[in-house]
Amino acid sequence: MLAGATPVLVHNCGDGSGADGVAQQASKSDAKPIRLALGLTFDFRSGIRLDTFATEHGAVTWKDQRFSDLFPGGVSSDSSLEAMTQRVLDSGGRISFNLAGVQNLPGVLEGTVGAGLRTSFELRHVCGNSAIRSIATFHNRSAPC
């Protein structure tokens, strides 16, 4: 490209608004905060379903469209769960954690019980990360951490 008679290098990036990233930052900060529900998908003792719990607390679960890129085919991993809670934190959101049916909380937090189980990992992750813990509210039992 020429500026008058002088050749110049033109770098095309951003969204075309001329604000190189400003529009992207604004859209991220304008996003509605996410309220996420965590806990057992179904507790046989109480009959509480995570979807019902989420609805009652104005929250969504991991199945929400905003997390679809993290759980391809419904498969979760420790890193996808960490990314999901970070996305909630970044949105200015909150976490509602249903503790109904979670047995042996001390063992779960130590990692000696429920190793490899999603809800156990979620609980250890929330309790072990002060930033995530600060946006979490525990329901149906006292906060374990």
Domain spans of the chain, in order of start: 33-139
Largest CA distance in the chain: 79
Q: Confirm if 143 and 95 have CB atoms less than 8 A apart.
A: no
Q: How remote is the C-alpha of 9 from its chain's centroid?
A: 41
| pLDDT exceeds cutoff 70 at 131 | yes
Residue type, 145: C
Higher-pLDDT residue of 12 and 136 is: 136
Q: Is the pLDDT of residue 25 over 50?
A: no
Q: What is the pLDDT of residue 30?
A: 58
Of the listed ranges 2-6, 39-43, 97-101, the least confidently predicted one is 2-6
The pLDDT of 131-135, averaged and rounded, is: 96
Q: pTM for this one?
A: 0.72
Confidence band of 49 (pLDDT split at 50, 70, 90) = confident
> Which residues make Cβ contacts (< 8 Å) with residue 8, sequence separation at least 6?
1, 2
The mean predicted confidence, pLDDT, of the chain is 79
Reading the block at residue 135, the tokens are: 């946006």
Residue 131: CB atoms within 10 Å: 9
Would you place residue 87 in the very low, low, confident or very high pLDDT band (cuts 50, 70, 90)?
very high
Pairing of strands 136-139, 94-98: parallel
Is residue 10 scored above 60 in pLDDT?
Answer: no
Quote the distance between the C-alpha of residue 97 and its chain's center.
Answer: 12
pLDDT band for 103, please (50, 70, 90 cuts). confident
Instruction: Kindly state the percentage of the chain with pLDDT values over 70.
Output: 73
Dihedral angle computed from the Cα positions of residues 120, 121, 127 and 132, in that order, rounded to the nearest 10 degrees:
-130
* Alpha-carbon gap, residue 66 to 68, rounded angstroms: 6
- Tell which residue, 145, 31, 35, 32, has the closest CA to residue 99: 145
Average pLDDT, stretch 34-61? 85
Q: Which run of H or of E encompasses 62?
A: none
